[in-house]
């Protein structure tokens, strides 16, 4: 309350305003030291991680590409040098077919006629060879004559008939054996009738 008898109120201050004022007051040497220490720690940490982890993939790729490019360039230069030496050495040697005068050149017309003659001779020889082959194929003996084939069929048919007769005879003998066994079984007494019975020797 003032002298006049009126009361006055303190201005309202929010919490955020109070925090800002406190931070401004607290900003001093200690805070600056903490921030500097934090920056130093981050720098040392980054340096240590880079040293232990080594260069990145892009850095290693850049180094490899640069080394490969240098190697390829050196190889290309060496090959160009070798090629140039070969060209110079080849040009320094005399040619195996030097330029000859026009009168010493061969008669191309005669060479052409000779080749045409040789071609006609080869063609005629080939035609004769084909004719001989065709005549030989037409007049050669067949591998199997018709009479031999017919005789083979007849022999096979005869063997089939003989085998059929053998099987028929074997079947007849088996049936006869079964009838004899059946007939002998009827004339033989049962064991319950005479256990002392012995078959005749």
Neighbours of 39 (CB within 10 A): 10
pTM of the model: 0.27
pLDDT digits (tens, 9 = 90+) for 96-127: 666 667 777 778 888 999 999 999 999 999 99
- In the block, tokens 């201050």 appear at 13
- Residue 102 is given by DSSP the state G
Q: Angle at the Cα of 26 (from 24 to 28), degrees rounded to 5?
A: 100
What's the CA gap between 64 and 74, in Å, rounded?
A: 15
Q: How confident is the model at residue 139 (pLDDT cuts 50, 70, 90)?
A: confident
What's the CA gap between 46 and 56, in Å, rounded?
A: 13
Judge whether 197 and 189 are in contact, CB under 8 Å.
yes
Most confident of 117-126, 151-160, 189-198: 117-126
């Amino acid at each position: 309350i003032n002298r006049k008898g009126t009361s006055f109120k303190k201005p309202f201050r929010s919490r955020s305003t109070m925090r800002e004022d406190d931070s401004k007051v607290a900003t001093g040497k200690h805070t600056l030291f903490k921030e500097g220490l934090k920056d130093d720690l981050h720098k040392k940490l980054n340096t240590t991680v880079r040293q232990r982890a080594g260069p990145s993939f892009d850095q290693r790729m850049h180094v490899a590409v640069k080394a490969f490019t240098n190697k390829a360039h050196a190889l290309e230069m060496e090959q160009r040098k070798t090629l140039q030496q070969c060209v110079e050495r080849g040009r320094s040697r005399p040619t195996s077919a030097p330029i000859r005068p026009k009168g010493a050149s061969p008669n191309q017309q005669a060479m052409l006629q000779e080749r045409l003659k040789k071609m006609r001779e080869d063609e005629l020889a080939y035609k004769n060879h084909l004719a001989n082959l065709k005549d030989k194929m037409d007049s050669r003996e067949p591998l199997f004559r018709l009479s031999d084939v017919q005789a083979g069929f007849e022999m096979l048919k005869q063997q089939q008939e003989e085998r059929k007769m053998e099987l028929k005879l074997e079947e007849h003998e088996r049936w006869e054996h079964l009838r004899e066994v059946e007939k002998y079984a009827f004339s033989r007494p049962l064991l319950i009738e005479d256990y002392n019975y012995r078959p005749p020797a």
